[in-house]
Amino acid sequence: MKNRINISTGTKWEDIVGYSRLVKVDNHIFVTGTVAVDENGNVVGENNVYEQTKYIIEKVKNILNQVGADLDTVVRTRMFVTDISKWEEIGKAHGEFFNSIKPTTTMVEVSKLIDPKFFIEIEFDAVLEKE
């Protein structure tokens, strides 16, 4: 695909599993499930789903910026959470970024994520205006 851009962030999982953090094809952008881990592999917001959610969204905002996008180009988020009873904390953090943008969203409870310290993983889809 000639109009494809792959962006990696260098996490150990990308090469092991064989995926990119972000793939842009034409004006469509897809961001893989992202957790609250920093560039050194440390969990951010340990024991705090609200802080993990905020960190993930900020992290993805920075990645989107690398391909000329921003949070206002996000059209869909998918949230995978390990404790759905925390939906209000998660929703509050999500709303702080997306209250005026209002992408479609899904929040589902899963039995666990790749590390028990992760309470949430979020995927993002974005669309840029056609040039």
Give the per-residue pLDDT at 1. Answer: 62
The answer to whether residues 37 and 58 touch, using CB atoms and an 8 Å cutoff, is no
List domains and CATH numbers for the chain: 4-127 (3.30.1330.40)
Give the per-residue pLDDT at 115. Answer: 94
Give the per-residue pLDDT at 13. Answer: 78
**Is residue 86 helix, strand or coil?**
helix
Which stretches of the chain are assigned E, i.e. beta strand?
4-7, 22-25, 28-34, 74-81, 104-109, 120-127
Residue located via tokens 């900020």: 58
**Is residue 90 helix, strand or coil?**
helix
Give the per-residue pLDDT at 39. Answer: 85
Which parts of the chain register pLDDT below 70? 1, 131
Give the per-residue pLDDT at 107. Answer: 98
Residue type for 86, please?
Answer: K
Give the per-residue pLDDT at 131. Answer: 63
Dist CA 10 CA 89 (whole Å)? 29
55-90 residue pLDDT tens: 999 999 999 999 999 999 999 999 999 999 999 999
Q: Token pair for residue 111?
A: 């039995």
Dist CA 119 CA 82 (whole Å)? 5
